Amino acid sequence: MKILVTGATSGIGRQVALDYANSGHQVWAVGRNEQALEELKSLGLQTGQVDLTDSAASFAWFSSLDSIDLAILNAGTCEYIDMPNFDSALVQRVMRANVESLAISIEAVLPLLRRGSLPHLAVVGSSAAYLPLPRAEAYGSSKAAVAYMVETLRIPLSKENIAVSLICPGFVKTRLTDLNDFPMPFRITPEEASDYIRKGLARKKAEIHFPKRFTYILKLLSFLPRPLWNKIAEQMVKK
């Protein structure tokens, strides 16, 4: 397959790109870190240094490709808000990195998928979108927007036989989660995350969430009456 992975210079994206390349697929790794891209290139991957928040530069680079069979749009960031200091600039940064850049990537990659074989669009969201979580006013909102965008895209793209998958990880050990100053239950390695993702994509699953022992807890909590969950979350903040 011809596979494209954005956010491929670290964490989940890097591991997924390497694992697909090691399995014999032709992989394009997209990111901004020149040194990390050079390393991936030395390992046999095709690379593209692109700022996905720059629509003109993104469209120009994507148009240089012929076709893609599987696009894994993984680029994004995470920042938390510490109340009572609500930070609108932080919200703008997170939305730009997680939502606006995704929209640009989708617009740029769809023409390539339409020329691909058994085309498949996969987007990395987050299990944080399942329910409101303390300090996640920006990050959680951005991933909720990502989930809604993917779910709505699935409807018209089904007419074109383009499979769509939403990937919702729990905590994965990356340079971003290494910055977290709170407990991260059931955190897994990028290698484990890549295994979940590749197995789920092979089955064309609409939603790929992991690790299940964590994500199912969040899903169950999301069914609680919202006032009850709010009380639980308020206690979390007090602690």
Q: Give the gyration radius of the chain's Cα atoms.
A: 18
Q: pTM of this prediction?
A: 0.94
Q: pLDDT for 33-77, tens place per residue? A: 999 999 999 999 999 999 999 999 999 999 999 999 999 999 999
pLDDT above 90: percentage of residues in the chain: 86
Q: pLDDT for 178-202, tens place per residue? A: 787 877 788 999 999 999 999 999 9
Comparing CA positions, the residue from 166, 163, 162, 188 lying closest to residue 177 is 188
Q: Where are the domains of the chain?
A: 2-238
Q: Which fold has domain 2-238?
A: Rossmann fold (3.40.50)
- Cα–Cα distance, 55 to 231 (Å, whole number): 42
Kindly report the average pLDDT of the chain as a whole number: 95
Quote the Cα angle for 108-168-50, to 5°. Answer: 30
Q: What pLDDT band is residue 210 in, cutting at 50, 70 and 90?
A: very high
- Cα–Cα distance, 58 to 82 (Å, whole number): 33
Which tokens go with 33?
């870190």
